[in-house]
Chain A
Amino acid sequence: MSPRTPGADLPEHPDRLWRDAEPKRSYDVVIVGGGGHGLATAHYLAKNHGITNVAVLEKGWLAGGNMARNTTIIRSNYLWDESSAIYEHALKLWEGLEEDLGYPILFSQRGVLNLAHTLQDVRDSVRRVEANKLNGVDAEWLEPDEVRKVCPVVNTSTDIRYPVLGATYQPRAGIAKHDYVAWGFARRADEAGVDLVQDCEVTGFTTDGNRVTGVRTTRGTIGAGTVALCAAGHTSVLTGMLGIRVPVQSHPLQALVSELLEPVHPTVVMSNAVHVYVSQAHKGELVMGAGVDSYNGYGQRGAFHVIERQMAAAVELFPVFARAHLLRTWGGIVDVSPDASPIVGRTPYDNVYLNCGWGTGGFKATPGIGSALAYTIAHDEPHPYVAPFTLDRFVTGALVDEHGAAAVAH
């Protein structure tokens, strides 16, 4: 028997996983944005609350925005109670998601190392590990020799520009196959009766006082009992139509993959200080993410010098990658908030809910925010996990500052 092609053992997909629905005249709930968060919200509205008269409107193709462009890292080792609560809620759902969706998502709990390169990094990391333990999140502090045991390809020698002084380790963290996650949610939502409407861009809203009555789209006006905005990088465009100001800035965020390689990298490695995060996908490509491009941008592409800088850091940290070839780079649009935490919940309109500001880290939250937002819509009351993340916190000052733990890019 000849050797198996890398990726040959990936599951086959049936031809059609969902109907390409025509929009009806009205729905109880209209979700704007057919990415991970929108699809997950639709799934949990149906599954947990029996609400199925729901449409998910997508201006392009299903899950073709950030859901198709992220680096698929899943973890919950955030510093503050508010953040670790929602991300840990998400991680627990990830652990049962394959069963819930009845669909393979290749969720692989291979652990994540967050490297520390300076004394301040070390102090912050140890503090975060202790905070995680208090919140029931699995976390350990590893010395450089233990880092080497978990991930032998990391350069832990002391003669590099930013030597590895240790790392936090969350063994339950990992990666999943982003497309399969989206397709799994879409299939389940569709089975429950949710209409997934593609090629349907929102162009405005019809309002009556403090309520939105409908959504104007390129496929006609669609009546809506409740509206949930799950448009990530395009949130400001939508809220602008409603006259709501939201403190997010849209930035290009780039990522890249190498050619397919034999397994060399057993875990996920992130480094805030030298700006790189790497895992190796199931098929064998090294998946790396960069920091955001500095300027505001909606172009789904960024500048090459950002990629170049990131590759320099990657090769310094992983000398073995120096001979790998870059296969493909791409960009998405991330909505970055001032405190690097999401903005979820009520808006000045009684029946419009906001879900944005996830910045560079929205993928890992997908099932968590889906279930919490579905609860919020069903009960017209913010779920305790999203309650701290109100738009109002920028007025009250109750910020959830996650710049340290959020990610490389914030």
Chain B
Amino acid sequence: MQLIACPWCGPREEVEFHYGGQAHVPYPDSPAELSDEEWAHYVFFRDNPKGRFAERWNHSAGCRRWFNAIRDTATYRFERVYRLDDPKPGVTELARSREEGTAP
């Protein structure tokens, strides 16, 4: 079974985790000013890339805390896990951690 590295608990089996979909989708700054189309995009539309994807995960059967991960949707490989208050890692940073072998 695939192991997922919880930022707090370390590597645990996939069944302990709950998927939370795309990460970094902020609540609209001025909700009252949104058009129907903008609301539709906030509520229903999410990215669906084949490849690297920034996602939310919850360690629901462990520490029960949310975290973010960069995962490749074609290979299912986790490239990075990071805390919710960390910024989304850039491409160069991910490449560097892969070279240095520090990716989880």
Contact = CB atoms under 8 A, between A and B. Distances in A.
Interface in B51-90: 53, 55, 71, 73-76
Interface string A246-270: 1111100000000000000000000
A396 B36 CA distance: 7
B49 A236 contact: yes
A294 B56 CA distance: 12
A238 to B, nearest CB: 10
Contacts of A236: 48-50
A296 to B, nearest CB: 5
B48 A305 contact: no
A16 B19 CA distance: 45
Contact of A296 (B15, B18, B45, B48): B48
B100 to A, nearest CB: 26
A250 B48 contact: yes
For the complex, would chain A's binding face be called helix, strand, loop or mixed by DSSP majority?
A: loop
Contacts of B21: 249, 296
A104 interface: no
A246 B50 CA distance: 14
Nearest to B75: A299
A247 B39 CA distance: 13
Interface string B1-12: 110000000000
B2 A250 contact: no
A237 B49 CA distance: 7
A44 B10 CA distance: 55
Interface residues of B, number: 25
Nearest to A234: B50
B37 interface: yes
Contacts of B74: 297-299
B76 A299 contact: yes
Interface string B27-57: 0000000001100110111101110010100
B48 A249 contact: yes
A338 B44 contact: yes
B37 A395 contact: yes
Nearest to B46: A249
Contacts of B45: 245-247, 394
A301 to B, nearest CB: 8
A338 B44 CA distance: 6
Contacts of A234: 50
A203 to B, nearest CB: 13
A310 to B, nearest CB: 14
A247 B44 contact: yes
Q: Report the 9 A-B pairs with minimum CB-CB distance, sorted nearest first.
A: A236-B48, A294-B19, A395-B40, A247-B44, A298-B50, A394-B44, A247-B45, A295-B19, A394-B40
Given A297-B74, A305-B15, 4 more contacts: A237-B50, A250-B50, A297-B73, A299-B75
